[in-house]
Amino acid sequence: MRLRQVHNSSLRSLRSSNPRITKSLDTHKHVSNEKHFNKPSLKTDSDIVKSNIAITNYMRIGQCDSAQRLFDSLSKRSSVTWNAMISGYLSNNRFELAHQMFDKMPERDLVSWNVMLSGYVKNGNLGAAKLLFDRMPERDIVSWNSLLSGYAQNGYVDEAKMIFERMPQKNSISWNGLLAAYVQNGRMEDARRLFDSKEDWAVVSWNCLMGGYVRKKRFIDARRIFDRMVVRDEVSWNTMISAHAQCGELMEAQKLFDASPKRDVFTWTAMVSGYLQNGMLDEAKKVFDEMPEKNSVSWNAMIAGYSQMKSMDMARALFDAMPCPNISSWNTMITGYAQNGDIAHARHLFNQMPHRDSISWAAMIAGYAQSAHSEEALSLFVDMKRDGERINRSTFTCVLSTCADIAALELGKQVHGRTFKAGFESGCFVGNALLAMYCKCGSIDEAYDVFEDMADKDVVSWNTILAGYARHGFGEKALSIFNSMKAAGVKPDEVTMVGVLSACSHTGLVDKGSDYFYSMTRDYGITANAKHYTCMIDLLGRAGRLNDAKNLMKNMPFEPDAATWGALLGASRIYGDTELGEKAAQMIFQMEPDNAGMYVLLSNLYAASGRWGDVGKMRLKMRDSGVKKVPGYSWIEAQNKIHTFSVGDALHPQRERIYSFLEELDLRMKKEGYVSSTKLVLHDVEEEEKEHMLRHHSEKLAVAFGILTIPAGRPIRVIKNLRVCADCHTAIKYISKIVGRVVILRDSHRFHHFSDGLCSCGDYW
DNA sequence: ATAGGGTTAG
């Protein structure tokens, strides 16, 4: 704190050097005038100063009305009086009133212009700021610095650099402005080059560079900067402490905490959230209790920690105990209740809270949507406008992405309609959200309609529709999108190529995929990343070239991650290579010990090759390691509701109708030649498992329910949280043919379009 | 007495 004061006071003396000169000139003028005027004018001037101070103080405590009343009552005002009003209004977010003052004032001085300029910048109106800057009768270094930061804050890094180069003079604020422009926009290499180009950076600039490295998770670079600092203020220590806490190095964080010269609420809160992020709730609570002073951020961090650990009672106790909960505290509680499935408590708090912002509404809407209450979600969306909360583009984007997550197509369509009515359909943000919603909800044709109608498509739009086709199993279509994209002059990026390679993989185009993979550096300047390699391993594996896949993995320039091993495991499963599958699964267990899906995959692999002893061992291993199999469930949207099914579901109101329909289907399937693969492998399975296998899986129940409720001619869209079961996959192919319906199933990995006895995945997934 | 930059905790 002391260092910060030293720093600020040196700035202040710099800042005041000019006014002091002006003042002495004023005094001089005044003395010469005194021959003609009598004392009152001197008295009036000191009165003006007094009222200026009073205005500033009123504004500082937010009493704009009192300031305005005082201003109106004055008989004499100087330009400082006007400037104090303008600046006060701006700092109280009363932009319109500030603007009116600026227009009305009789004589504007340089400060008036600078105040307005920074007002526009803070208001995010860069265009107006630029116009004002051009209109200014004169400019000083303050004007230039304001404009520089305006460009930087709005992401115009190169323009900021041009301003910096055009500046007649530069001071430490200007240098810091350019550095911050790079850091804020993630251009750390440029920031570093600038930083190394000169000495004598201010402490804030050191902090700025260090903070940039922390945000990029480049903790070693951050620490090097910290160690090189000759002068450190509290912010420097706090940044470094939170960096160590974030990456789980709590011992080191604690060491710096103990060594830091002064600890403020930031320092303490950084330690609390460090422990929370690493799941150490008790330690976090201990530090929290020891904190000498807490503010709402500290309380909210602790509350969020409890709610993430599903301890809503503890979270609630803290919430009730905290002195002044702010809007974030309420939002944290609502989100916590909603995510823990307690929608009633969430709604109760939502109704009680004094003010709601767009985050409160989004949390509540998402809560309803995720707990299968789409009607309430939509009606809340409608209520929002009535409550006075403006529905803006980001609200639509947020609601659409909720629809996408839960594949609520009907709800999504209604939101689409409202988006259109509100005039928000144009623009990439909402357009891409719509596009993604239709893709993820399984309606690839509607996604394409949106895509075609988009006036301005960016690379994200192209990537979304391309990956959409690939995930739906329409590889050829995905590749033709890729060609149109190139023809439209849009440069493919890394994400595009992931889509292209996975399209080739899903379509079995091994040679074409390899060509793209090996030529993308030359053609588009894209270096293969882990995802590209994973696609290639998947592609080779699918084609049965397991050795090539293994070799590619051996030769890739980075360590394989769980997804890469997963691709190899998938291939071994299809081609029955138990040895390779075992190796891959072991690697995945090491990296993701909680990944229950892998135990299931591996034990299925054993079962397929008749190794029943190993299947049993897997079961024991799973039990001993405490991993809980994630229960599989499926859901379907019908009659404005989301219907959820679990294996052998006994809760659904229409279960009897569904089960008898499945019996009937079973007979017809057998006539067509269907043999249940589960029944083939039953002979060596324990009783409990047998029963499990004989019961209908959730996806089959949902499909049957869909056929019974969704009007003929419309596809049946089902979503499953895990991968589709192989037996159900076969069964649904038969069912699609028997009843003449299209079934679109989204599982945790991709889409399956079942139609006339076939699936778009080509039985590889 | 009025004006410019930046960094840390939810």
Contact yes or no for A728/A696 (Cβ under 8 A):
no
Integer CA distances (angstroms), A288 to A162, A203, A235, A248, A283, in order: 47, 29, 20, 18, 9
A272 CA vs B7 C1’ separation (Å): 20
The gap between A333 CA and B4 C1' (Å) is 39
Residue A250 has a pLDDT of 92
Strand B bases near protein CB (under 7 Å) are: 1-10
Q: What is the DSSP secondary structure assignment for residue A440, as one 8-state letter? A: H
CA atom of A650 to C1′ atom of B9, Å: 48
Closest nucleotide to residue A79 (Cα to C1')?
Answer: B2
In the numeric block, the tokens 């599982």 are attached to: A747
A667 CB neighbour count, 10 Å cutoff: 8
List CB contacts of A244: < 8 A, sequence separation 6 or more. A219, A250, A252, A253, A256, A274
Distance A70 CA to B10 C1' (A): 39
CA at A120, C1' at B3: how many angstroms apart?
Answer: 13
CA of A162 to C1' of B2 (A): 29
CA at A234, C1' at B4: how many angstroms apart? 23
Give the residue among A264, A291, A287 at the shortest CA–CA distance from A277: A287
- List the A326 CA – B2 C1' distance (angstroms): 32
Residue A272 CA, nucleotide B6 C1', distance (Å): 25
- Which tokens hold the place of A50? 């007094």
Alpha-carbon distances of A160 from A150, A155, A200, A384, A447, rounded to whole Å: 8, 9, 21, 39, 38
Q: Note the helical H segments in A291-357.
A: 296-308, 312-321, 327-339, 343-352
Who's near A729: CB < 8 A, 6+ residues apart? A752, A759, A763, A765
Structure tokens at A395: 């609200």
Q: Which CA distances in Å does A397 have to A201, A250, A258? A: 41, 37, 44
Nearest DNA or RNA nucleotide to A205 (CA to C1'):
B6
In this complex, the nucleotide whose C1' atom is nearest to the CA atom of residue A88 is B2
Backbone angles phi, psi at A733, to 5 degrees: -60, -50
Give the integer Cα–Cα distance in Å for A400 and A429. 11
A52 closest-nt by C1' vs CA? B1
Structure tokens at A126: 């860069």
CB-based contact A177:A145 (threshold 8 Å): yes
Residue type, A688: E
A255 CA – B6 C1', rounded, Å: 26
User: With the C-alpha atoms ordered A456, A462, A463, A469, is the resulting torsion angle positive or negative?
Assistant: positive
Q: Secondary structure of chain A: what % helix, strand, coil (to 5)? A: 70, 5, 25
Residue A685 DSSP class: S
Q: Which two tokens stand for residue A472?
A: 């739906």
Question: Which stretch of DSSP H or E encloses residue A104?
Answer: helix A95-104
Is A275 in contact with A284 (CB distance < 8 Å)?
Answer: yes
**Residue A265: nearest nucleotide (C-alpha to C1'):** B9
Name the DSSP letter for residue A703: H
Closest protein residue to B5 (Cα–C1'): A173
Rounded Cα–Cα distance for residues A247 and A240 (Å): 11
Q: How far is the CA of A554 from the C1' of B5 (A)?
A: 50
Q: Residue A739 corresponds to which tokens in the numbers above?
A: 């009843």
Find which nucleotide's C1' atom is closest to A235's CA.
Answer: B8
**Amino acid identity of A226?**
F
Distance A241 CA to B1 C1' (A): 40
Please, are residues A65 and A89 in contact by the beta-carbon 8 Å criterion? no
Spacing of A203 CA from B3 C1' in Å: 23
Q: Report the DSSP pairing between strands A751-755 and A641-646.
A: unpaired
Distance of C1' in B3 from CA in A153, Å: 19
- Joined together, the tokens standing for residue A427 give 């623009």
The residue count of chain A comes to: 765
Computed over its alpha carbons, how large is the radius of gyration of chain A? Answer: 32
Nucleotide nearest to A270 (CA to C1'): B9
The residue among A438, A432, A477, A482 whose CA lies nearest residue A457 is: A432
> What angle separates helix A312-321 from helix A327-339, to the nearest 10 degrees?
160
Q: Which residue is nearest to nucleotide B4 (CA to C1')?
A: A142
| Cβ atoms of residues A237 and A267 within 8 Å | yes
**Nearest nucleotide from residue A294 CA, by C1' atom:** B9
Scanning every strand, the nucleotide with its C1' closest to A26's CA turns out to be B1
Helix, strand or coil, per DSSP, at residue A646: strand
Task: Yes or no: say if A695 and A647 are a contact pair by the CB < 8 Å rule.
Answer: yes
pLDDT of residue A363: 86
Nucleotide nearest A59, CA–C1', reads B2
pLDDT along chain A (765 residues), means of 10: 35 35 34 38 69 92 92 92 94 89 93 93 87 93 93 89 93 94 91 93 94 91 94 93 91 93 92 91 93 91 92 94 91 92 92 86 82 74 70 74 82 85 77 91 92 88 94 91 93 93 89 94 91 93 90 89 87 84 86 74 76 80 73 85 85 90 92 75 54 77 96 92 86 96 91 93 78
* A121: nt with nearest C1' to CA: B4
The protein residue nearest nucleotide B6, judged by CA to C1', is: A204
Kindly give the pairing relationship between strand A743-746 and strand A716-720.
parallel
